[in-house]
Chains A and B, each alone.
Chain A
Amino acid sequence: MIVEKVKIINSLGLHARPAAQLVKITTRCDCDVFITKDEMEVNAKSIMGVMMLAAEVNSEIIIKCTGPDEHLCMNELKELVKNKFYEE
């Protein structure tokens, strides 16, 4: 299991479209992914779950990947967040 903390930097936070992008990656990966923010933990393979975090700009989320391709998955997710979900 690997755990990393990342900061949301796109100005609008994890709204519908970024959440959909994130879920696209997690559902493809062969590992369990959970995201925690302010004591709320959600399954990152669910768009509703991810949106329920209501992660706004500058908020920090903790990503937890467990499974065969956990490293690959984590890298892709970090890349996505770093690149502002490729939408700005």
Chain B
Amino acid sequence: MNKKIKEKILKGVPASPGIAIGTPFNYVHETLNVSRETISDHEIEAEIIKYKAALEKTKTDIVEDKKNAAKRGGQEAAKIFDAHLLIIDDQVLIDEAVYFISSHNVQASYAVSKIMKDYQMAFEKLQNQYFSQRAFDIEDVCRRIIKNMSSELDHVDLSTVLKGKQIVISNNIFPSDTLNFNKDLILGIVTESGGSTSHAAILSKSLEVPAVVGVSGITKYMNKISLMIVDGFTGKIIINPKPSTFETYKIRQHEEQKQVEEDLKYSKMPSVTLDNQTIKILSNIQSTLEIDSVIKWNSDGVGLFRTEFLFESSLSILSEDDQYRIYNEVSEKLYPREVTIRLLDIGGDKLNDKMSIKEDNPFMGVRGMRLLFDHPDLLKAHLRAILRASARKNISIIIPFVANLTEITKTKLLIERTKQELASEGYPFNDKIKIGIMIEIPSIVMIAEAVAEKVDFFSIGTNDLTQYLLAADRGNEKVSNIYDSFHPAVIKMLDITIRSAKKKHIDVGLCGQMAGYPIAIPLLIGLGLRELSVTPFLVPVVKKIIRRLDSKKCRILADKCLKVSTSRSVSSLLSDFFEKNIGENPLQ
């Protein structure tokens, strides 16, 4: 039948870290191919009754899923099902199906699948990505209706069909599949489509199982795989590994598991240096699904809540109330930990078709506050929602992508006005909510002292700061040798920012990738940082390093780094220091 193939490597987008080794489970949604069966005139009425009953049943199912999703994954997940309810209630769709059944003498499931396909095709043709993606929702809803009409139970319950723990391979994971997935059942997830912000990616991250998405061609190999490796760090999928590859990964997996156990131990210890300096280790999150990880890894709170993803993943633009529920959930579940919410930073690489404009150079175009100022209604709803969720006093706001003082004063003024509005409407909120800015455009560093008088804190975003300082697009492979966060100029920028903040007595933290890079941590502590924000699962790794550091020695290291003129010199200073003071690289 299907001949097994030799070792083959496929590449996708890493969506959730970790290594999974196991057998594949086919969770591919088959193309709906309902055959057309002719029914006689006197059967029409019964067929319509059957169809309407299936509609009711599907509606109840969706309401139920929505409740479960709200319980499990938070408000965001529940929103997806709201849109599905709108679709199922569409009277024209219902009438169309009824008419099709009676005028063509066909069974209901065929009518539904035919209408579904017509709509899908029409939607897929649309230019605007937001609208074209709705094809996917129609398909999910129609599949459910058809399933509810068929006598055989073809709903796959993973807990009954898996042969032990397996790696789930799918063409795509639908929102209605979510509740079927459970960490105790699956080893990993691989999907044919989707990017790093797809439903599958977020789901796997929240389950903390390794996952790779967007692996084109994977479903074609389905029957040819006897064993596979999923590398959620690099996005590699290895089909039928050679014994040597298998051994290598087995060892890596074992080390990784040991690491996780050790990390958990570390997560219970305080984050202090050898000379008793307390360092706050916060988390960067983008979804309410990550709240549990923040708690599990004992992070001090959220240093950066990216709001872009909420808007990108949502089926529709979030209203003020929708947003309020999400921010309130984060504030409530993490209380008394602090939560820093970054205002919507769309544009640049996070192009959102819903509102962005085509630009030749989007990274230097209308993004962050520049875009929000152009959409006053959206900004107002956004600010109102955040302020309304601030009553517990554990929320603060970061203004993204600022290049000058005017943008800061303008945003602060809008926040003040929003406060007055909320006060007059009787909403409780934190009148003294802290407002900080992202340090990511070099111009703002050069006037950091003046800026520090206007804000409560700085948050340094090293990824963007590096790209704007070195004029090297961080996504462009051709200039990846130029893009280098260890460039002495970047280190000097950090130094100026931190000194200015200290001089003006405001807080300063760092939430870029640099904070999660082990050898850079001594430098950051040496430069004077006492707040680092990283991906939740990196919290214990950072803590482990911090507990072996002496801040005075780190200061000497930082001073040395500030005197050299090449990134190579910086790197070697950092490596030497790391080897001498920490020993092995905890990430290896």
Which chain B residue has the least Cβ–Cβ distance from A88? B377
The answer to whether residues A88 and B316 also contact, given A48-B119, A56-B128 and a CB cut-off of 8 A, is no
Q: What distance in Å separates the Cβ of B231 from its nearest Cβ neighbour in chain A?
A: 37
Contact of A16 among B86, B89, B127 (CB under 8 A): B86
Cα distance A57–B134 in the bound complex, in angstroms: 18
Which chain B residue has the least Cβ–Cβ distance from A53? B131
Cα distance A9–B587 in the bound complex, in angstroms: 51
Cα distance A52–B128 in the bound complex, in angstroms: 10
Indicate if B90 sits at the interface (CB-CB under 8 A). Answer: yes
Which chain A residue has the least Cβ–Cβ distance from B94? A46
Cα distance A48–B136 in the bound complex, in angstroms: 12
On whether the beta carbons of A48 and B127 are closer than 8 Å, the reply is no
Q: What distance in Å separates the Cβ of B207 from its nearest Cβ neighbour in chain A?
A: 27
Contact of B377 among A10, A48, A49, A52 (CB under 8 A): A10
Count residues of A near B (Cβ-Cβ below 8 Å): 24
Q: Which residues of B contact A46 (CB under 8 A)?
A: 90-93
Q: Which residues of B contact A13 (CB under 8 A)?
A: 354
Indicate if B126 sits at the interface (CB-CB under 8 A). Answer: yes
Indicate if A51 sits at the interface (CB-CB under 8 A). Answer: yes
Q: What distance in Å separates the Cβ of B77 from its nearest Cβ neighbour in chain A?
A: 16
Residues of A2-61 contacting chain B, CB below 8 A: 10-13, 15-17, 20, 23, 27, 43, 45-49, 51-52, 54, 56-57
Indicate if A78 sits at the interface (CB-CB under 8 A). Answer: no
Cα distance A17–B128 in the bound complex, in angstroms: 17
Which chain B residue has the least Cβ–Cβ distance from A18? B316
The answer to whether residues A54 and B131 also contact, given A11-B375, A17-B317 and a CB cut-off of 8 A, is yes
On whether the beta carbons of B92 and A12 are closer than 8 Å, the reply is no
Indicate if B123 sits at the interface (CB-CB under 8 A). Answer: yes
The answer to whether residues A47 and B377 also contact, given A15-B130, A52-B123, A54-B126 and a CB cut-off of 8 A, is no
Contact of B93 among A10, A12, A16, A48 (CB under 8 A): A48
The answer to whether residues A54 and B316 also contact, given A45-B91, A48-B92 and a CB cut-off of 8 A, is no
On whether the beta carbons of A84 and B131 are closer than 8 Å, the reply is no
Cα distance A46–B375 in the bound complex, in angstroms: 28
On whether the beta carbons of B92 and A45 are closer than 8 Å, the reply is yes
Cα distance A39–B83 in the bound complex, in angstroms: 27
On whether the beta carbons of A51 and B91 are closer than 8 Å, the reply is no
The answer to whether residues A51 and B92 also contact, given A17-B317, A88-B378 and a CB cut-off of 8 A, is no
On whether the beta carbons of B87 and A47 are closer than 8 Å, the reply is yes
Which chain A residue has the least Cβ–Cβ distance from B92? A46
Which chain B residue has the least Cβ–Cβ distance from A11? B375
Indicate if B381 sits at the interface (CB-CB under 8 A). Answer: yes
Q: What distance in Å separates the Cβ of A20 from its nearest Cβ neighbour in chain B?
A: 5
Contact of B134 among A11, A12, A51, A88 (CB under 8 A): A51
On whether the beta carbons of A48 and B138 are closer than 8 Å, the reply is yes
On whether the beta carbons of B91 and A27 are closer than 8 Å, the reply is yes
Cα distance A23–B378 in the bound complex, in angstroms: 23
On whether the beta carbons of A48 and B87 are closer than 8 Å, the reply is yes
On whether the beta carbons of B377 and A51 are closer than 8 Å, the reply is no
On whether the beta carbons of A16 and B83 are closer than 8 Å, the reply is yes
Q: What distance in Å separates the Cβ of B498 from its nearest Cβ neighbour in chain A?
A: 38
Residues of A51-88 contacting chain B, CB below 8 A: 51-52, 54, 56-57, 84, 87-88
On whether the beta carbons of B315 and A12 are closer than 8 Å, the reply is no
Which chain A residue has the least Cβ–Cβ distance from B321? A87
Q: Which residues of B contact A11 (CB under 8 A)?
A: 355, 375, 377-378
User: Could you list some 15 contacts between A and B, CB below 8 A?
Assistant: A11-B355, A15-B131, A16-B316, A48-B87, A48-B134, A48-B138, A51-B123, A52-B126, A52-B131, A54-B126, A54-B127, A54-B131, A87-B319, A87-B381, A88-B381
* B residues lining the A interface (CB < 8 Å): 83, 86-87, 89-93, 119, 122-123, 126-128, 130-131, 134, 138, 315-317, 319, 354-355, 375, 377-378, 380-381
For the complex with contacts A16-B315, A23-B90, A48-B87, 17 further pairs of A-B residues with Cβ separation under 8 Å are: A12-B378, A13-B354, A15-B316, A17-B316, A45-B92, A46-B91, A47-B86, A47-B87, A47-B89, A47-B90, A48-B93, A51-B123, A52-B126, A54-B131, A84-B377, A87-B319, A88-B381
